[in-house]
Structure formats: C-alpha cells, structure tokens
Amino acid sequence: MKRINPEFTSELKASSVGHFVNGKTVSVSEDTQDIYNPADGKVLRTVAMGTAQTVEMAIDVAEKAFPAWRQLPPSKRSRVMFQFKTLLEENSKRLARVISEEHGKVLDDAMGEVQRGIENVEYACGAPELLKGQHSKNAGPAIDSWVEFQPLGVVAGITPFNFPAMVPMWMFPIALACGNTFILKPSERDPSAPMLLAELLTEAGLPDGVFNVVNGGKEAVDALLSDARIEAVSFVGSTPIAEYVYKLGTSNGKRVQALGGAKNHAVVMPDADIDTAINALMGAAFGSAGERCMAISVAVTVGSETADCLVSGLKERLANIRVGPGCSENVDMGPLVTNEHRDKVVGYVDMGVQEGAVLVVDGRNLEVEGHESGFFLGACLFDHVSSDMHIYRDEIFGPVLCIVRVDTLQDAMELIDQHEYGNGTCIFTRDGEAARYFTDHIQVGMVGVNVALPVPVASHSFGGWKRSLFGDLAAYGPDGVRFYTHRKTITQRWPSSVNGEGIRFAFPSND
C-alpha cells in the first residue's frame, strides 16, 4: 500500500485545487473559480477550470490504464475497495469537515453522507459475486451457454454540489469494481472532498490512471460528452443539465444515465401519528438547508384538521431551529452553498408571497451573529399553496416547505402524479390499505411509508421517474452493475462423438 499524502488536510490549505490525473495532483495553467466558505462568505481557495485539453490528458491516461485493470481478477479489484473502505472510515471526520467547510452542511449530516458513500463501497467489495454472470449447461445438444459481465472501458461521472462525496461514490466504486477506468468531473463549488477520495483510492492501492478527477464546468463536461473514447456517462444534477447531458451524450453514441431535480411530496393522512410526521418533516425539509434531491419540499395534508395540526406543530418546532456555521457544535441547519443560490431561494419566497401563499414562518431576515456575511437563510414555511404557484411547481432547493391542503388521498395522488418530477415521495398514515394503494399506484420512483427520506440502501438502486431521471438504469446497486457492464452471451460446443451434425438450414432450436 503506498502512502502518498497522509497530511492531506494541510494540502487543503493550499490556495488552489487542481486535478488528479495518473495517481497525482496536477496543476495546469487555466482559469480558476473561487470556492467560498458559505458560513462566512469568504473565498477559501480557487479551483482550476479544466479545459478540453485537460480532459483529453485524463482520457489518455484512463485509456492506457484500462487493459491491465480490466484483466485483474475481480477479487483483486475488490481488495482495493476493501482497503479504500478502511481508509474512508479512518478519514471520515476529515472528509466531513472538508464537506462542511465548502458546502456548508452541518458535520453530522456530512458524516451521514460519508457513511452512505461507504455503503456503496461495501457493495462494490462484492465484485466477484456481482460479476459471476449466468450459466446454462446443455442449452442445446452438447452446447453450453453463459453470460459474462464485461467492463465498458473509460467511463465518466459528472456530479452536483450537494453531496460532494456520496454522489461520486454512487458511481465510481461500482464502475471500478466492474473493471472500468473512471474520470470524475465534480461540482466546481466544492471539489476538495472528491480530490481527497482520489488520494485515498491511490493510497488503497489503486493503480495510477484508473481513477482521475478533472475539475471544471461546462467546457470539461462538453469535452467528456464529445470524446469518442468515453463509453458511458453518469450524471447527477439539475434537470435542464441532466436533459442536455443525456441528449448530447446519447447522440454521440454513449450510454448515459442522467439523474435530475425533484419536488418531493409528503402526504399526511388524518390518521397519521402527527408528532412523528412533524419530526420527520423537520429533518426532511430543512436538513442540509433543503439542498437535497430527496428533500421534502411539499407537505400535502388530507383534511383541514390535519393541515392545522401540522402547521402549528411545524411552526412551534421551527421557532427553535438552530441555524449557524455547519462546522460548529449544536447547529441544525447551515448556510446555503453560494450567495447567488441564497438570492435565488429568497426570490422564490418573495414570489410565493406575491402569488398569495401564506408565509407562516419567514426566514428571510435571519442574521447569524458573527457570521453576517454568510449565505444564511432561515427556514420558511408556506401554507395555502396551490399547484399553479411557482413555489409549488419549481424545485427551489432551499429551506422552504410548502403546505398544499387537499380533501382526499385521491386528490393528493393526482397532484403528485401531475408534477413533472417523480423522484421521491412518502405517506404518513396508520392505514395499511391506504399505504399499500399509495405505494402501488403513485408515479414516483422512490416511495416511503412513514419514512420521509426513502433513499434506497446500497444493495438496491437509486432513481426517480419522469423528469427526475433520463435513461433506463438507476444509480448504484444492481442497476449500477448493469450500467457499467456489457453483457456478452457465449454459446459453445466442442467437437465430440455425440454432436456431429450435417448441414442444417433451419434456425437452430431444441426441437
């Protein structure tokens, strides 16, 4: 095992984040972009904005590394993943701190993100089992047939700011375990955690060139989507970019999975345990300042009594929500990622008021003492929201929860089904029949019953429906294995005394 940079946190104090190519950090003379500490609004460091040439350099390296990595027995690739998992556990607090520093989320939340990422690495450790394929003895007379899972080649991942460690780990552990080489293009807003992951992978024994990170924005993405040597692209981010990546990537002949935005509804039934629902909604709507693709941003209350109880309970709890720097103790909610994003979310809150929704809790004037220049926004709660309002239709991606009042479960389900997004949803109820009807019929990819954030575990796969996912296969788990492999079916017969056959023009069959 080679220890390349045990003091990587000190390296993070460096003023610029470069790229990670061929097993080491490289800097190229390029434009840079500022990375902020959202808790105080100051520039922490800058990130290199990779050009088409930088991407080409990474693809060259990944292409060269592919043949040897592909040939390695899956058990040996799996051993690298086991070692990587150990290193992730040893370094989880450091990773969480880096995530919190650049993203703004609270440390507990960042630790949760790292842990969910590790679970994907654990799944990838099962490569020998996952890649066993399928075998049919005597598929025909003296004929055996089997299906092999073969790697694609060089694949790429393009990831969003909101889970700088976990979302890359939805992708590369399984892609690498399947025998591919990988180029990651992380979000330019918080690139340091992915760079640390690259260092840990190298420390875990991953051969140079198998995993590379190119930082940057649109130019780097376009270069990945255009280069014929990239076989497949996994994307996670907003819907407009997901659609763009899907269209451009597939038109260039690549396999693409592009996960997009969301507007996740929680249905609260009259028989729900209302305290459980309120507590769950507090975390699901305001955790990570609402910057989660599975965040609940709409609570659909069935019956006016349910609505009144929910609104008063949320209002009471929101009075005690602790907003502050993510790296501090005893904080529930950190700042938003950038000032522009904060302004955008505030713009939505203003719009909601203009459109006639009732702003029950207004977080717009919140100031965090000693952090006046931070990108903070207090929690906002809207009641009496209707489906024609922008605050209902659009993904806001901030600490804003909308209450939509309806009369029946059927009304709630129609509302959800008519929304353009179909990522996650949940129902709070004690009624098994209602829950079963809901899970059976709702047009959404990930559904919870009394579980507000039904994020699938690593042995299942993550993916929404409708405009929340472009492509056929979801992220990680069994779909991940399928996405990152070709299935090849081999049909074999060896000459023997029993299977001699003359010329036969009929289609082969077992008749």
Binding site for ligand NAD (CB under 6 A): 158-163, 167, 185, 187-188, 217-218, 221, 236-238, 241, 259-262, 293, 395, 397, 423, 464, 468
Closer to ligand NAD at the Cβ: 293 or 404? 293
Which of 59, 54, 34 has the alpha carbon at shortest distance from 44?
A: 34
- Tell me the C-alpha distance between 337 and 214, whole Å: 21
Q: What are the residue numbers of the active site?
A: 293
Closer to ligand NAD at the Cβ: 100 or 468? 468
Closer to ligand NAD at the Cβ: 202 or 215? 215
Closer to ligand NAD at the Cβ: 159 or 212? 159
Closer to ligand NAD at the Cβ: 255 or 405? 255
- Tell me the C-alpha distance between 91 and 200, whole Å: 9
The distance of closest approach from Cβ of residue 422 to ligand NAD in the complex, given in angstroms and rounded to an integer, is 10
- Tell me the C-alpha distance between 97 and 118, whole Å: 16
Which of 489, 496, 482, 503 has the alpha carbon at shortest distance from 130?
A: 482
The answer to whether 77 touches 179, Cβ cutoff 8 Å, is: yes
- Tell me the C-alpha distance between 337 and 104, whole Å: 6
Whose CB is nearest to ligand NAD?
237
DSSP sequence for 409-461:
HHHHHHHHHHSSEESEEEEE-S-HHHHHHHHHH---SEEEES-S--PPPTTS-
The distance of closest approach from Cβ of residue 253 to ligand NAD in the complex, given in angstroms and rounded to an integer, is 18
The distance of closest approach from Cβ of residue 186 to ligand NAD in the complex, given in angstroms and rounded to an integer, is 6
The distance of closest approach from Cβ of residue 97 to ligand NAD in the complex, given in angstroms and rounded to an integer, is 21
HEC per residue, 27-92: CCCCCEEEEEECCCCEEEEEEECCCHHHHHHHHHHHHHHHHHHHHCCHHHHHHHHHHHHHHHHHCH
The distance of closest approach from Cβ of residue 37 to ligand NAD in the complex, given in angstroms and rounded to an integer, is 17
- Tell me the C-alpha distance between 457 and 411, whole Å: 30
Burial 502-511 (b: 16+ CB within 10 A, else e): eeeeeeeeee
Closer to ligand NAD at the Cβ: 5 or 33? 33
Measured over all CA atoms, what is the biggest interatomic distance in the chain, rounded to whole angstroms? Answer: 89
The distance of closest approach from Cβ of residue 220 to ligand NAD in the complex, given in angstroms and rounded to an integer, is 8
Other beta carbons less than 10 A from residue 201's beta carbon: 27
Closer to ligand NAD at the Cβ: 222 or 271? 222
Which of 208, 186, 204 has the alpha carbon at shortest distance from 21?
A: 208
The distance of closest approach from Cβ of residue 450 to ligand NAD in the complex, given in angstroms and rounded to an integer, is 22
